[in-house]
Amino acid sequence: MAFANSEFKLFSAGSGFFGNPSSEAPLRPPPPPVEVLASEVSSTVKCLLEPVNLDGLTLLKGRVSTEEVLGVPDSDLVAGVYEGGLKLWEGSLDLVKAIRSEIHKGELSFRGKKVLELGCGHGLPGIFACLEGAAAVHFQDFNAEVLRCLTIPNANANLSQTSQSTASKDTTLIVETEVKYFAGDWSQVHQCLPHVYSDGKDADSSLRQNPVYDYDIILMAETIYAISAQQSLYELIKKCVKRPGGVTYMAAKKHYFGVGGGTRQFLSMVKKDGVMDATLVAEVADGSSNVREVWKLSMKSDSKS
DSSP string, 91-148: HHHHHHHHHHHHHHTTS---TT-EEEEES-TT-HHHHHHHHTT-SEEEEEES-HHHII
* CA–CA distance, 88 with 86 (Å, rounded to integer): 7
Residue 292 confidence (pLDDT) above 50:
yes
The answer to whether 304 and 274 have CB atoms below 8 angstroms apart is no
**pLDDT(172) > 70:** no
- The pLDDT of 86-100, averaged and rounded, is 92
What pLDDT does residue 81 have? Answer: 60
Nearest to 118 by CA among 64, 181, 160, 74: 181
Tell me the chain's radius of gyration from C-alpha atoms. 18
The amino acid occupying position 169 is K
pLDDT of residue 210 exceeding 70, the answer is no
3-state secondary structure 175-202: CCCEEEEEECCCCCHHHCCCCCCCCCCC
CA–CA dist 253, 222 (Å, integer): 7
**Of 124, 117, 129, 242, the residue nearest 177 (C-alpha):** 129
Q: Read off the pTM.
A: 0.83
Q: How far is CA 71 from CA 64, 85, 89, 185, in A?
A: 12, 14, 20, 20
Query: 3-class SS at 11?
Result: strand
Eight-class DSSP state of 5: -
Over residues 191-210, mean pLDDT: 60
User: Is pLDDT above 60 for 130?
Assistant: yes
Q: What is the β-pairing status of strands 77-78 and 10-11?
A: parallel
Give the pLDDT confidence score for residue 209 in this predicted structure. Answer: 46
Other CB atoms within 10 A of residue 157 CB: 16
Q: Which band of pLDDT confidence, cut at 50, 70 and 90, is reported for residue 217? A: very high
Chain centroid to Cα 31, Å, comes to 18
Distance CA 87, CA 122 (A): 8
Residue 19, φ and ψ in degrees, nearest 5: 120, 0
